[in-house]
């Protein structure tokens, strides 16, 4: 008589069958495999027990990414997020429940995955990405981002590029390259990009792909509103503080607050013959909401997870290297190879020229405005230092109060008055990068003599 299988045997058998689809990919050769791919059962073991994957962001994309990666066999996941859970998150961030409101996203997401998928361990970090140094990021095999901030994207892009080392012949050391998979969504649109630091186009190379941030001048909001958003901003910025209807700060998650703003904005819109003020618009303006659709998040996260799997297993060629996705009218995708910018501030590995017209009339303040306003740089609050007569000299740094006050007079001085010569190097620090960027002044005048 055959022996009855024990519960442990059944559990082990079920666990083995769970990964059969992955084994079909990783343990067999195929026409689409990479030429240097060698099928082996050791690859699945690597994914489950050795590979370390960092997920940045535990919001709409992040929740999907953690679920996908855990169910694809990755056993060691880490997630960073600085936000706490709000009521408005629950319609698409499915790892959270109403009882989680107010708790850190990273910790709740990790706890949910750990409880549901016993083959995966998720380590949470309730922190900013800027809180960690290069040693922290070097421990990961692949980094995948689900961010909603351009500044954060630029920062992590600069960080992983700074980790690249070069061999004696000047070529990139492949062992120092940590792939970055970046996903982004807005409404029914999304994109995925694969970045191999210093080898392919990085975030900074294609900075002009990001849409400009929408801001409304206060003078327009207060005196000559033309758009329904102007009316909402007026109530949000001016009228709320003036009337103080609920004796507290405006809370975008409080229906009473939103209703009050909606009624006041509608009144103002009617006075100026403006149409289009809706309750939903008010919610979006008050909370600065980027439209989020769960199905778009799911599609983009799946594409990102697929690229992580290909990178970690080396079984198929990774995407080259930028994919657009649009399901507004049907489903449309398009993939193309974004070109590396040889003058990129981040990945070119060389000081970049900062072209200046006339050093006798161009002030330091003009240079700072150029760094902030130019589509090429788009910095937020740059601090500038240089080397003069063998010593470090701070020209301006507004992020430190005492230094800002001491260097304020430099802002109105011309580059000539400051003693900055053609070809002189400037060290620029900014919130968009974890490292100091070296730039080289290049004057466009033919006959400029700097004594």
Q: What are the tens digits of pLDDT across the range 66-81?
A: 999 999 999 999 999 9
CA 28 to chain CA centroid, Å, is 36
Question: Which position has the higher pLDDT, 155 or 285?
Answer: 155
Place of tokens 């730039």: 439
pLDDT bracket for residue 374 (50, 70, 90): confident
Sheet holding 437-443, edge to edge: 352-356, 437-443, 425-429, 383-388, 391-396
Question: Tell me: the pLDDT tens digits for 403-439?
Answer: 888 888 899 999 989 988 888 889 999 888 888 888 8
Residue 219 designated active-site: yes
What token pair was written down for 85? 């859970």
Q: Quote the pLDDT of residue 15.
A: 59
| 39/205 Cα distance (integer angstroms) | 35
pLDDT, average across residues 343-353? 81
> Is the pLDDT at 204 greater than 80, yes or no?
yes
How far lies 152's CA from each of 31, 129, 243, 382, 431, in Å?
39, 8, 36, 16, 9
> Could you tell me the sign of the dihedral formed by the alpha carbons of 10, 11, 13, 18, in that order?
positive
What token pair was written down for 55? 């997920």
Q: Which long-range contacts (CB under 8 A, 24 or more apart) does 261-270 make?
A: 261/232, 261/235, 261/236, 261/286, 264/235, 264/239, 265/228, 265/231, 265/232, 265/234, 265/235, 266/231, 268/225, 268/231, 268/234, 268/235, 269/225, 269/228, 269/231
pLDDT, average across residues 206-223? 71
Least confident of 173-177, 223-227, 262-266: 223-227
| 287/254 Cα distance (integer angstroms) | 11
- Please state the pTM of the whole predicted model: 0.80
User: Which is nearest to 109 in space by CA: 129, 134, 130, 126?
Assistant: 126
Q: Quote the pLDDT of residue 312.
A: 94
Catalytic-role residue among 63, 99, 108, 219: 219
Question: Tell me: the pLDDT tens digits for 9-42?
Answer: 545 555 568 889 999 999 999 888 998 899 999 9
> Is the pLDDT at 300 greater than 90, yes or no?
yes
The runs of H, that is alpha helices, within 86-225 are: 105-116, 134-137, 150-162, 218-223
> Is the pLDDT at 56 greater than 90, yes or no?
yes
Least confident of 47-56, 96-105, 149-158: 149-158
> Is the pLDDT at 399 greater than 90, yes or no?
no
Question: Which position has the higher pLDDT, 253 or 339?
Answer: 339
pLDDT, average across residues 116-131? 94
User: Which is nearest to 314 in space by CA: 17, 18, 19, 46?
Assistant: 46
Q: Quote the pLDDT of residue 9.
A: 52
What token pair was written down for 434? 């974890």
Domains and CATH numbers, the chain: 21-211+293-336 (3.40.50.720), 218-287 (1.10.10.520), 352-443 (3.10.290.20)
Q: Quote the pLDDT of residue 215.
A: 64
pLDDT bracket for residue 396 (50, 70, 90): confident
Place of tokens 């303040």: 365
| 221/233 Cα distance (integer angstroms) | 7
At 170, give phi and psi (nearest 5°). Answer: 90, -5
CA-CA-CA-CA dihedral for 313, 109, 282, 288, to nearest 10: -60
The helix or strand, by DSSP H or E, that contains position 144, with its residue range, turns out to be: strand 142-145
User: Which is nearest to 163 in space by CA: 441, 450, 444, 434?
Assistant: 434
Q: For strands 352-356 and 142-145, give the pairing.
A: unpaired
Residue 193 CB partners (closer than 8 Å, separation 6+) = 181, 182, 203, 321, 322, 323, 338
| 74/82 Cα distance (integer angstroms) | 23
Q: Quote the pLDDT of residue 346.
A: 87
Full DSSP string of 397-436: -TTSHHHHHHTGGGGGSBTTTTTPPTT-EEEEE-TT-SSP
Mean pLDDT over each residue of the chain, to the nearest integer: 88
pLDDT bracket for residue 217 (50, 70, 90): low
Sheet holding 180-186, edge to edge: 121-126, 76-81, 52-56, 142-145, 180-186, 189-195, 322-326, 332-336
Find out whether 53 and 309 touch, Cβ atoms under 8 Å.
Answer: no
């Amino acid at each position: 008589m055959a022996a009855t299988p024990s519960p442990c045997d059944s559990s082990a058998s079920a666990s083995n069958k769970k990964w059969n689809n992955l084994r079909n990919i990783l343990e067999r050769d195929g026409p689409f495999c990479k030429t240097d791919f060698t099928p082996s059962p050791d690859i699945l073991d690597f994914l489950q027990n050795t590979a370390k994957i960092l997920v940045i962001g535990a919001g709409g994309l992040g929740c999907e990414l953690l679920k996908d990666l855990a169910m694809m066999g990755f056993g060691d996941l880490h997630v960073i997020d600085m936000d706490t859970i709000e009521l408005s998150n629950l319609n698409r961030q499915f790892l959270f429940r109403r009882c989680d409101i107010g708790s850190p996203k990273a910790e709740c997401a990790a706890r949910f995955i750990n409880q549901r998928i016993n083959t995966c361990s998720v380590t949470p970090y309730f922190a900013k990405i800027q809180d960690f140094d290069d040693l922290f990021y070097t421990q990961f095999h692949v980094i995948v981002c689900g961010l909603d901030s351009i500044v954060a994207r630029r920062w992590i892009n600069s960080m992983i590029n700074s980790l690249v080392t070069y061999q004696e012949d000047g070529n990139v050391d492949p062992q120092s390259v940590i792939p970055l998979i970046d996903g982004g969504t807005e409404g029914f649109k999304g994109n995925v990009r694969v970045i191999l630091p210093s080898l392919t186009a990085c975030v900074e190379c294609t900075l002009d792909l990001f849409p400009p941030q929408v801001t409304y001048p206060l003078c327009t909001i207060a005196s000559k509103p033309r758009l329904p958003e102007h009316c909402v901003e007026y109530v949000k910025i001016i009228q709320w503080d003036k009337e103080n209807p609920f004796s507290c700060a405006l809370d975008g998650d409080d229906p009473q607050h939103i209703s009050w703003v909606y009624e006041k904005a509608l009144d103002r819109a009617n006075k100026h013959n403006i149409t289009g003020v809706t309750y939903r618009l008010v919610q979006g303006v008050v909370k600065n909401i980027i439209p989020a659709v769960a199905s778009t998040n799911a599609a983009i996260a799946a594409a990102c997870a697929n690229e992580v799997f290909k990178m970690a297993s080396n079984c198929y060629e990774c995407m080259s290297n930028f994919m657009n996705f649009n399901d507004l009218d049907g489903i449309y995708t398009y993939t193309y190879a974004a070109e590396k910018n040889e003058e990129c501030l981040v990945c070119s590995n060389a000081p970049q020229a900062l072209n200046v017209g006339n050093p006798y009339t161009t002030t330091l303040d003009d240079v700072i405005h150029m760094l902030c306003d130019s589509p090429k740089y788009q910095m937020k609050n740059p601090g500038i230092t240089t080397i003069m007569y063998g010593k470090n000299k701070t020209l301006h740094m507004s992020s430190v109060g005492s230094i800002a006050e001491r260097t304020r007079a430099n802002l109105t001085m011309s580059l000539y008055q400051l003693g900055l010569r053609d070809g002189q190097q400037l060290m620029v620090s900014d919130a968009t990068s974890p490292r100091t960027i070296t730039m080289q002044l290049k004057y466009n005048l033919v006959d400029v003599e700097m004594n």
